[in-house]
Amino acid sequence: MNKAVVFLLLISVWSCKQPKKEGVGSVSEPQTVKLDHASGFHIKQFSHFTVMEISSPWPNSETNFTYALVPKENLATISLNKDEYDAIIGVPVDRMVVTSTTHIPALEALGVTEKLVGFPDTQYVSSPATRKRIDAGLISDLGKNESLNSEMVIAINPEVVIGFSINNENKTYETIQRSNIPVAYNGDWTEETPLGKAEWIKFFAPFFKKEAKADSIFRSIANNYQDAKALAAKAQKTPSVISGALYKDIWYLPGGKSWAAQFITDANADYLWKDSTASGSLSLSLESVLEKGYNADFWVSPSQYGSYSELKEANRHYAQFAPFKNKNIYTYANSKGPTGGLLYFELAPSRPDLVLKDLIHIFHPELLPNHSPTFFKPLN
């Protein structure tokens, strides 16, 4: 009896000294992924899965979305509280639907274009690589973003839909989610700085286990941007700039805190509405713009007008501005894909370094004399 008691005591002591086995999905200290410019999402890497929180899915959102991205080999054994997450998604993803053209350059940069199986309004896609897959029938047209054809989405059975929405009232996404297809919101367009938008490539990376590649790509873009900005600072002159155009009787132009205004400032030019605190667009009268911008040196982004004749036909008062008279108007409207989609809306958010170089070439041609414009070209 005494030997048995001693044996049990020894077993008990030995067991207490053994380290507890870590269950799949448990970890004491997650690693937070460093984001230098983006503010609308956050990533934490646990030992067996990744948690992504979207804090800005649309402007002024009071709703956060949290997603758990779990390696597929761990899905059967991991223990997660489903109530804590808006979706639990197995990775790497093999079949994805995205809903904004701004998502496509990230997939291409990460080398996962073949994972894209559906997109709304495919006519607006400009990328040659993705257009080739569309034309081959490998990417389904899913209707319009605001009202995705939910039956088609369900039929192609993606593992996740990357959603884009201006508010929380998209009923189509609710239908898709009820069919056990997770929807993950992407809010890249809500960022207020050029590099903030570009850093959303790190949002896509965990879906494909491409975190290291995304970090390298973004670091290169950020360095290129900062180098271009430093080059622009060496210019001897700071030209004045106006932007936008009339829609009906209202002239819409970038607010002083918008990403479009930031481009102009970083290109060492004087945006005449830089003191505005608006991060979106301003709505002004023709008279007020004419009064302030009559003698501007340059005019960029005159809406979607592609020529001086179109501009004058739309409103004869445009011809009063000095940039019109001096032929110093530059537009992104003349850089189109084969089906008419504007390259600027698709690629510019992902490649702010190219946008900045275009503007430096316009405002300070002596600094980048051999630059070939990607987006901004002279009005015809």
266 within 8 A of 324, measured Cβ to Cβ: no
The CA-atom distances, in angstroms, between 312 and each of 254, 268, 302, 316 are 22, 29, 12, 5
Residue 214: predicted pLDDT: 98
Report whether pLDDT(93) > 50: yes
H/E stretch holding 246 reads strand 245-247
What are the phi and psi torsion angles at 176 (to 5°)?
-65, -40
Report whether pLDDT(239) > 60: yes
What mean pLDDT is predicted for residues 219-245?
A: 98
Residue 168 pLDDT level (bands cut at 50, 70, 90): confident
Residue 325 pLDDT level (bands cut at 50, 70, 90): very high
Rounded to the nearest 5 percent, the helix, strand and coil shares of the chain are 40, 20, 40
342, amino acid identity: L
Q: Are strands 147-148 and 143-144 parallel, antiparallel or unpaired?
A: antiparallel
End-to-end CA distance of the chain: 102
Q: pLDDT digits over 77-86, tens only?
A: 998 999 999 9
Provide the token pair at 184: 């993950």
The Cα 198–Cα 217 span in angstroms is: 10
Percentage of residues in the chain with pLDDT exceeding 70? 93
Q: Which residues are registered as beta bridge partners of 162?
A: 98, 184
Report whether pLDDT(71) > 90: yes
Report whether pLDDT(120) > 90: yes
Residue 171: predicted pLDDT: 85
32, amino acid identity: T
Q: pLDDT digits over 272-282, tens only?
A: 999 999 998 99
Which residue segments constitute the domains of the chain, with CATH numbers given?
31-221 (3.40.50.1980), 235-378 (3.40.50.1980)
152 or 11, higher pLDDT: 152
Q: pLDDT digits over 194-218, tens only?
A: 999 999 999 999 999 999 999 999 9
The Cα 184–Cα 81 span in angstroms is: 18
| pTM value surpassing 0.85 | yes
The Cα 328–Cα 322 span in angstroms is: 8
Q: pLDDT digits over 94-119, tens only?
A: 999 999 999 999 999 999 999 999 99
Q: pLDDT digits over 249-291, tens only?
A: 999 999 999 999 999 999 999 999 999 999 989 999 999 999 9
Report whether pLDDT(11) > 90: no
